[in-house]
Structure 1
Amino acid sequence: MKIFQILMAGIFCLLGASSAYAGGDLTDYAYTPPPAANSCGGPFSGFYAGGLIGFGGASTKTNVGIELKDNDRGFTGGGVAGYNWQCNGWLLGAETDINYFNADMTTGITCPTCGGSLTFGSEINWYGTVRGRVGLVGNENFLIFAMGGLAYGGVDHSINSNAFNGVTFSGTQSDTAVGWTAGGGIEYLLNDNWAFRADASYIDFGSTDDTFTANGGGCAGTCTARVGYDDSFWVARVGLTYLFGAPAAAPAPAYEPMK
């Protein structure tokens, strides 16, 4: 008899619990996983712009039948802007910069028999680049990258003959040289929008042939001098960039009532 009563009490308890659940008296909560994270995007994504300063070393080779060389160092400073795509720790980007540079090289030869001299000058005044970038992002705030592309700049070439072979004249030509550049660097996020940057680049403008002409000064009619110049330089810079596309924080996991 007691066993029967116990069984009946258990049945009534189960029926009461089922009724309460059906009537909505109990609410069951289930874990809803967060939406799948987008694998692309990150703190370095989007547009950026900034300023960089540094120094560099330039060299020139002058070819007038014999090869002459000279080197100089100078200050550089300018602005940079670009756009980055960050995906799964990889970064692809495109950037451009324009910079001031002051390097002045001079080479020359003397005439052993006539006592005269012939002097050549090559002065790099400014340069710019259009480059691609590829890099790796570590710890969400550190970037190491390589870069390369097109380089261009303003170069003044000159010649000065001081009674060389009995001829005295001088001439200057200003050229916009075009070449290539390659380099690399690092960036470190200081906060959501500002990053410290350090980079180094090599720029090669290749060979340029300039023709100088002069009348008089010992010339029998017109004197012509054809000179080959080969200009290249490297720069190391530091600066700050501002990131315009700081990403929003990822949504936190949530618990939602089961419907």
Structure 2
Amino acid sequence: MTKSIVVASALALACAVGPAIAADLPSTKAAPAFIPPLAPPPLWTGFYVGLNAGYTWSNSDTVAQSYWDTDAAGLGANALIGNFPGSINANVSGFIGGGQIGYNSQVSDKFLWGVEADIQGVATSGSTAALTGASAYTTLSRGIDYIGTARGRLGYLVTPTLLAYATGGLAYGQTNLSASYLGAPTIVASDSYSDLRIGYAVGGGLEWLFAPRWSAKVEYLYYDLGTASTPGAVYAYTSALGSQISGAQSSTRFDGHIARAGLNYHFDWFKPAPIIAKF
């Protein structure tokens, strides 16, 4: 009897304690899947627009003069005795200012590529030089009204917000060149050239992303628009041998340097939408 009571009590205790112990055991139900946080987007990727200002100066200052003559009293004959120059130096320089638009693609934490187009007006870019001979006077003028570029950029991120880059591509500019000649006894001649020229530009710079959408840059460019010549001045006259004709032509290379600073605003069009985890 007593033995039966003990066995029954043990079974009852086991039935009561079992569920309580089971409740404390770890659950076998799978935990929600872990969704890692999205990596921050590249700081530099996207479109931008900005303004720039700086200074430009010519690399080649020489304007070469060539002459021809059918007798001994025109432009060519006067050039032979030193009345008209074989060349004149005329520097093209001045303040420059304009705007730019571009796009960057940051391909890693260290490198990016991009494209940029800009256009600038040149203040006081025209240069006039004069030369006086024994009995003649020459006036020469050349200049660049505006200059623009369309370039690629390849950059290295020194820090996440400091970019060092090299750049190169197309350059274009409105160029002009003119010359006039006065000489004894009645020499009066002139000609001029004005045209949009295409060339190239190369350089580099530093750009600092000092705020989430703003960057400042300093940049140097060398541009080369090639060599241009005037159509040629013509002076006709009469000598003892009859009707004569003479001419003169000017040619120069339009190349130079640009040093400038700029400010860019970056559009935040590529910021990803936040991820909402669902369990």
TM bracket (short chain): 0.7 to 0.9
Which residue in the other structure is 2:261 paired with? 238
Distance 1:28 1:139, change over 3 A: farther
Which residue in the other structure is 1:105 paired with? 127
Task: Give the C-alpha shift of residue 104 in structure 1.
Answer: 2.1
For 1:94, the aligned partner's letter is: V
Task: Give the C-alpha shift of residue 69 in structure 1.
Answer: 2.7
Distance 2:238 2:189 in 1: 9
How is 1:174-185 mapped onto 2 (pairs within 5 angstroms)? 174-185=194-205
Which residue in the other structure is 2:63 paired with? 62
For 1:150, what is the secondary structure of its paired residue?
strand
Q: Which moved more, 1:158-167 or 1:201-210?
A: 158-167
In the comparison of the two structures, how many residue pairs are matched? 245
Gapped runs of 5+ residues in structure 1? 1-8
How is 1:212-251 mapped onto 2 (pairs within 5 angstroms)? 212-214=232-234, 223-245=246-268, 247-248=270-271
Distance 1:165 1:201 in 2: 47
Task: Give the C-alpha shift of residue 30 in structure 1.
Answer: 7.2
Task: Give the C-alpha shift of residue 138 in structure 1.
Answer: 3.4
Distance 1:125 1:21, change over 3 A: same
Which residue in the other structure is 2:135 paired with? 115
Counterpart of 1:209 (choices 216, 219, 229) is 229
Q: How far does the alpha carbon of each residue in 1:175-228 deviate from its partner, in whole angstroms, 9 at most, with x for none? A: 112211111111111322111122111111121122223456889565432222
Structure-1-length-normalised TM-score: 0.77
For 1:236, the aligned partner's letter is: A
For 1:230, the aligned partner's letter is: R
Is residue 2:152 matched to residue 1:151? Answer: no
Task: Give the C-alpha shift of residue 36 in structure 1.
Answer: 7.3
For 1:118, what is the secondary structure of its paired residue?
strand
For 2:174, what is the secondary structure of its paired residue?
strand
Which residue in the other structure is 2:111 paired with? 90
Gapped runs of 5+ residues in structure 2? 1-12, 67-85
Q: Which moved more, 1:152-161 or 1:186-195?
A: 186-195
Q: Which moved more, 1:227-236 or 1:78-87?
A: 227-236
For 1:106, the aligned partner's letter is: T
Which residue in the other structure is 2:79 paired with? none
Distance 1:241 1:32, change over 3 A: same
Is residue 2:37 matched to residue 1:43? Answer: no
For 2:90, what is the secondary structure of its paired residue?
strand
The structure with more radius of gyration:
2
Which residue in the other structure is 2:34 paired with? 32
For 2:36, what is the secondary structure of its paired residue?
coil
| Root mean square deviation of aligned Cα | 3.7
Task: Give the C-alpha shift of residue 140 in structure 1.
Answer: 2.0
Task: Give the C-alpha shift of residue 15 in structure 1.
Answer: 7.6
Q: Which moved more, 1:218-227 or 1:57-66?
A: 218-227
Structure-2-length-normalised TM-score: 0.72
Distance 1:33 1:208 in 2: 65
For 2:61, what is the secondary structure of its paired residue?
strand
Counterpart of 1:75 (choices 61, 75, 95) is 95
Task: Give the C-alpha shift of residue 106 in structure 1.
Answer: 3.4
